[in-house]
């Protein structure tokens, strides 16, 4: 049994990389509609970087 990293199937990879659906927010007086789009998920290279901490804040 191999303990190495396994690549996901191409279908699963495409599904994971799809952009998120936009979010709609309506103002309380129903006059304004805000459409927001979340940024894509960070890649594994970004997530695996060492963290720097200062006064309890990670960056």
Q: How far is CA 51 from CA 13, 39, 41, 42, 57, in A?
A: 27, 21, 18, 15, 10
pTM (predicted TM-score): 0.43
**Could you tell me which residues come within 8 angstroms of residue 32 by beta carbon, excluding any fewer than 6 positions away?**
26
Confidence of residue 9 (pLDDT cuts 50, 70, 90): very high
Q: pLDDT tens across 10-42, in order?
A: 999 888 888 889 999 999 999 999 999 988 778
**Could you tell me which residues come within 8 angstroms of residue 25 by beta carbon, excluding any fewer than 6 positions away?**
33, 34, 36
45 forms beta bridges with none
Residue position matching structure tokens 């303990």: 3
């Amino acid at each position: 049994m191999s303990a190495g990293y396994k690549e996901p199937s191409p279908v699963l990879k495409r599904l994971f990389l799809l952009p998120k659906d936009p979010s709609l927010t309506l103002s309380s007086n129903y006059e304004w509609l805000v459409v927001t789009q979340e940024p894509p998920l960070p890649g594994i290279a970004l997530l695996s970087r060492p963290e720097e901490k200062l006064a309890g804040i990670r960056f």
